Chain A
Amino acid sequence: MAAGQLAGRQFPSISHLTVWTVMDALILQLLNGLDKGGAYALIALGLTLVFGTLGVVNFAHGALFMLGAFCAVTLQNVLTISKKVKDESITFFDAYKETPYLEIWWGDTGAAIIDWVVPISIILAIPIMLAIGVAMERGLIRHFYKRPHAEQILVTFGLAIVLQEIIKSFFGANPIPTPAPDIISGSANIGMMLGLGESLVYPWWRLIYLLFAGVVIFAVFAFLQFTTFGMVVRAGMQDRETVGLLGINVERRFTIVFGIAAIVAGLAGVMYAPILPPDYHMGMDFLVLSFVVVVVGGMGSLPGAVAAGFLLGILQSFASMTEVKAILPGIDQIIIYLVAVVILLTRPRGLMGRKGVMED
C-alpha cells in the first residue's frame, strides 16, 4: 500500500489497531480451520456414507484419500515425461535441459496443461476412484457385511497397509510436491475484499479448496435428497430389509454408494495435494482424525459428520494460536482428542447420532 494513501486516511488509535490485528488473526485461524475442517468433513462424509448404508467400518478410507492425491501425482509424472533438449539460450557451450514432450509438441499450450495438472486430475480421478471403490466393495468389503465390526476393522486396516505400501514402492517415501496452477498459487488479499484492513492475506488455493469442499458436500446431500437413487439409499439406511423386500436391488445400489464415497475421498485427496505434498502415509494420518470426526458427529449421521469435521477443524486451528498455547501449552496437539473424549462421555451417540446405530 502506498504511503500517500495512508496519509490520506485517519490513523486508527493504538487500541483500535490491536483490535484489528486480533480480528485478522481470528479470521485467519477461522479460515485455516474451515480448510482443515473441509478435508476432515469430506473424508468423514464418505466414511459415514459407507457405514450408514453398508454397515461396514472402513479403515481403508484414508487410503482412498491418499490414492486420490496420488492420481494427481501420477498425472503430473506422466505429463512431465521429458527428454533432453539443447538449451539454445546458452551459447558458450552445449547445455541441455529436460523439456517435457508436451512442451516440445505444443509449446505454450503444453506448458499450460502441465501447469494445470491438479485441476485436470480431478476429471481423471473420478472414474479411477469409482473403479477402485467398486472393485474394493465387490472384491473384499461385500464378504464382510455379516462379520463382526472388529473383523471389518482389521481386514480394512490390513488393506490400508497394503495400499500404502504399494504406493510407497512405486513413489518412494518422500512427499512429492504437486503445485497448484501458477495463476492461483499466490495469496488473496481478503482484507481488501471485505474491507477489513490490509494485513489479511490467504492463499488462493486454500480458498478454492474450501469452496470445492462446500460444493462436493452440497452435491452429495442434493444427490441423496433429490434423486430417486438417493431416496432408495436413504430408505436402505433406515431399513435395508424392507427395501430389499420391495424388489429393489439394494446391494447393487450400495456398491455404487461405496464408489461415490471413494470418489469423494479421492477428490478431497486430489485437491489437498497442493496444500500438503502427498506421501504414502497421509491417508493413515487423516484416517485416525476422520474416525474421531465420525464418532464425534455420530456414527451414521451425514450432517453430523460434516458439522463435526468443521467444528474440530476450527477448534484445532484456534488451539494452535500462540496466545492460546501460552495459556495451555500443548493444547493444539490434543484438542481434537480431548473434545472427542468429552463429547463421547456426555453424548454417547455423538453430536447427531441416530438412535440404535452402533449402540453396544
Chain B
Amino acid sequence: MTTPAIRNDWAVMAIFTVAVLTAPLWLAPIGANYPDLLQKFAIFGIFAIGFNILFGLTGYLSFGHAVFLGVGSYTAVWSFKLLTMNVIPAVILGTVMGGVFAVLIGYVSLRRSGIYFSILTLAFAQMSYNLAYSVLTPITNGETGLQLTQQDPRILDGPAGEGLPSTTLFGLEMSGYSGFYFCAVMLILAFYISLRIFRSPFGLKLQAIKSNQTRMKYTGFNTKPYLLVAFVISGMFAGLAGSLMAVTDPLAGAERMQWTASGEVVLMTILGGTGTLIGPLLGVGIIKYFENIFSALNEATLHAFFSFMPDWLANVMVAISSQFVGEGWHLTLGVLFMLVVIFLPGGVMEGIRRMTAAVRNLSKQKPTELEPKEAEG
C-alpha cells in the first residue's frame, strides 16, 4: 500500500527536494507564496510526517501529539533566552526534549492499545496543558506565554544590543524567506528519514504490527520496543516542528499543547492519506492553504464574488456562504473532514489512486485488469 509506482527512492527525493525548494515559485499562481504561509506548510508538514510514522505505520491513534510540539517550542525559546539566538542549539534541544517526553509518555501509554491508548495519550496531553497553565508558570510563563526579554542572559551571545534580538543562523536572520528555507531544509531531512523508515525492515515490522499484532506476538516477536521507537521518532519530529515554530516566531504558549492542536494533526494526516508518504503533506497544504483563504474572506468579498447573480439570489448565497468563511472556517473544516471520512477514508491519496485507476481502465478498455484491490473501506 505504501509503495507507489516510482521505485527509485533517489528520484523521489530529488523531485521532492526540488519541489520544496522551488515552492515560492510554483505556489505563486495561487497566491500562497509568501514566507509566513510557506513556513507553516513546512513546519506542519514535519509535524504530520512524524505523526504519520506512528499512526500510519502502526495504527496507534495518539490524541496527545501536540504535547511534543509544545515542549519543543518551550525548549527552543529557553535556548534563545539562556544560550544564544542561534537556531541550531534551539532546534537540536527542542528535538531532543520532544524525544525525552515521548520516551516517558510512550513507555506508559504503549502498555495499552486501541481506544485506551488514545485516551492515555489524551490524558497526558491534558495534564501537560493544565500544568503549563498553572503550576509550571515559572517555566512556561502561564497564559502570557514564554517570550524573549531584554534581561535574558544569553551566555553565548555576549552583551545584547538595543531592542529584542531576532533568531539567526550564524548571523543570517531567520525571518521571511531565509526562515522558510531553514524550515524547508528540515522538512526535506524529515521526509528523507520518513522515506527510509517506510522502506526499511523496521518500517515493515511496524506495518506488520498494524495489520495483526497478535500474530506478531505469537511468532515470538516482541512488538513493544518497535512501537516505542516509532513513538519516540514521531515525538522527536513533533519536537522539531515545535522548535521551528519558535525559530520563526520566538514565542511559546500552552495552547499549542491543547487537545484541539492534537486533533488538527490527526485531521491533516487523515485528509491527505494515512500511511502514505506524501499524503500528510498534501493534507497540511490543503488545510493550511484554505484556512488562510477562508479566514480572510468576509461578506464584502462574498458580495463581490456573487455580484453576477440577481440581487436576491446573491443575497441568499452570501447569507449561506458567509457561515463558512472568516470566523466560520472551522465549520468548513468540520464538514470537509466528515465528508472525507465518510466517502474517502483513505484521504486525498486514495482519491488520486482511484482516479488514476479509472483513467487507466478507461484507456485500456479492459475493466477486468488485474488491479490489486486495496484500501477498500
A-side interface residues toward B, CB under 8 Å? 57, 140, 143, 147, 149-151, 153-155, 157-162, 165-166, 168-169, 284, 288, 291-292, 295, 299, 329-330, 333-334, 337-338, 340-341, 344-345, 348, 358-360
Contact call B331/A165, Cβ cutoff below 8 A: yes
- CB-CB under 8 A from A157, the residues of chain B are 263, 337
Contact call B118/A153, Cβ cutoff below 8 A: yes
Q: Among the listed A160, A166, A340, which residue makes an inter-chain contact with B119, where contact means beta carbons less than 8 Å apart?
A: A340
With A161-B330, A162-B335 as contacts: A288 and B135 at CB distance below 8 Å? no
Q: Among the listed B59, B118, B122, B337, which residue makes an inter-chain contact with A161, where contact means beta carbons less than 8 Å apart?
A: B337
With A333-B130, A333-B134, A341-B123 as contacts: A155 and B342 at CB distance below 8 Å? yes
Contact call B108/A341, Cβ cutoff below 8 A: yes
CA of A256 to CA of B115 in the docked complex: distance in angstroms?
25
Report the nearest A residue to B126, measured CB to CB: A337
Contact call A162/B116, Cβ cutoff below 8 A: no
What 4 A-B pairs come out closest when comparing CB atoms?
A330-B135, A161-B334, A333-B130, A165-B331
- CB-CB under 8 A from A143, the residues of chain B are 342
Contact call A154/B127, Cβ cutoff below 8 A: no
Q: Is B133 an interface residue (CB 8 A)?
A: yes
- CB-CB under 8 A from A344, the residues of chain B are 112, 116, 119-120
Q: Among the listed B61, B123, B136, which residue makes an inter-chain contact with A153, where contact means beta carbons less than 8 Å apart?
A: B61
With A150-B61, A155-B341, A348-B112 as contacts: A165 and B330 at CB distance below 8 Å? yes
Q: Among the listed B136, B266, B338, B377, which residue makes an inter-chain contact with A159, where contact means beta carbons less than 8 Å apart?
A: B338
- CB-CB under 8 A from A151, the residues of chain B are 341, 345
- CB-CB under 8 A from B337, the residues of chain A are 154, 157-158, 161
Interface residues on chain B, size class:
35 or more
Q: Which chain B residues in 59-85 approach chain A with CB under 8 Å?
A: 59, 61
CA of A329 to CA of B136 in the docked complex: distance in angstroms?
10
With A158-B337, A333-B131 as contacts: A295 and B124 at CB distance below 8 Å? no
Q: Among the listed B127, B263, B266, which residue makes an inter-chain contact with A338, where contact means beta carbons less than 8 Å apart?
A: B127
- CB-CB under 8 A from B136, the residues of chain A are 330
- CB-CB under 8 A from B114, the residues of chain A are 149, 358-360
- CB-CB under 8 A from B260, the residues of chain A are 284
Contact call A154/B341, Cβ cutoff below 8 A: yes
- CB-CB under 8 A from A159, the residues of chain B are 334, 338
A–B pairs, 5, beta carbons within 8 Å: A153-B61, A161-B333, A292-B119, A329-B135, A348-B112
Contact call B331/A162, Cβ cutoff below 8 A: yes
Contact call B119/A165, Cβ cutoff below 8 A: no
Q: Is B33 an interface residue (CB 8 A)?
A: no
With A57-B115, A154-B266, A333-B133 as contacts: A162 and B334 at CB distance below 8 Å? yes
CA of A21 to CA of B252 in the docked complex: distance in angstroms?
43
Contact call B338/A158, Cβ cutoff below 8 A: yes
Q: Among the listed B119, B270, B327, B333, which residue makes an inter-chain contact with A291, where contact means beta carbons less than 8 Å apart?
A: B119
Contact call A158/B323, Cβ cutoff below 8 A: no
Contact call A340/B341, Cβ cutoff below 8 A: no
Contact call A288/B122, Cβ cutoff below 8 A: yes
With A288-B259, A344-B119 as contacts: A334 and B112 at CB distance below 8 Å? no
CA of A220 to CA of B336 in the docked complex: distance in angstroms?
36
With A151-B341, A162-B334, A344-B112 as contacts: A334 and B119 at CB distance below 8 Å? no
With A169-B323, A348-B116 as contacts: A334 and B130 at CB distance below 8 Å? yes
Q: How far is the CB of A65 from chain B (nearest CB, A)?
A: 17
Contact call B116/A341, Cβ cutoff below 8 A: no
Contact call B270/A154, Cβ cutoff below 8 A: yes
- CB-CB under 8 A from A299, the residues of chain B are 115
With A162-B331, A360-B113 as contacts: A337 and B123 at CB distance below 8 Å? yes
Q: Among the listed B214, B270, B331, which residue makes an inter-chain contact with A166, where contact means beta carbons less than 8 Å apart?
A: B331
- CB-CB under 8 A from A291, the residues of chain B are 119, 122
Q: Is B111 an interface residue (CB 8 A)?
A: yes
Q: How far is the CB of B56 from chain A (nearest CB, A)?
A: 12
- CB-CB under 8 A from A160, the residues of chain B are 334
Q: Is B165 an interface residue (CB 8 A)?
A: no
CA of A291 to CA of B114 in the docked complex: distance in angstroms?
14
Report the nearest A residue to B335, measured CB to CB: A162
CA of A139 to CA of B337 in the docked complex: distance in angstroms?
16
Contact call A147/B377, Cβ cutoff below 8 A: yes
CA of A185 to CA of B260 in the docked complex: distance in angstroms?
35
CA of A329 to CA of B133 in the docked complex: distance in angstroms?
12
Q: How far is the CB of A71 from chain B (nearest CB, A)?
A: 21
Q: Is B328 an interface residue (CB 8 A)?
A: yes
Contact call B334/A158, Cβ cutoff below 8 A: yes
Q: Among the listed B113, B123, B213, which residue makes an inter-chain contact with A340, where contact means beta carbons less than 8 Å apart?
A: B123
Report the nearest B residue to A334, measured CB to CB: B127
With A155-B341, A333-B135, A360-B213 as contacts: A341 and B120 at CB distance below 8 Å? yes
- CB-CB under 8 A from A158, the residues of chain B are 334-335, 337-338, 341
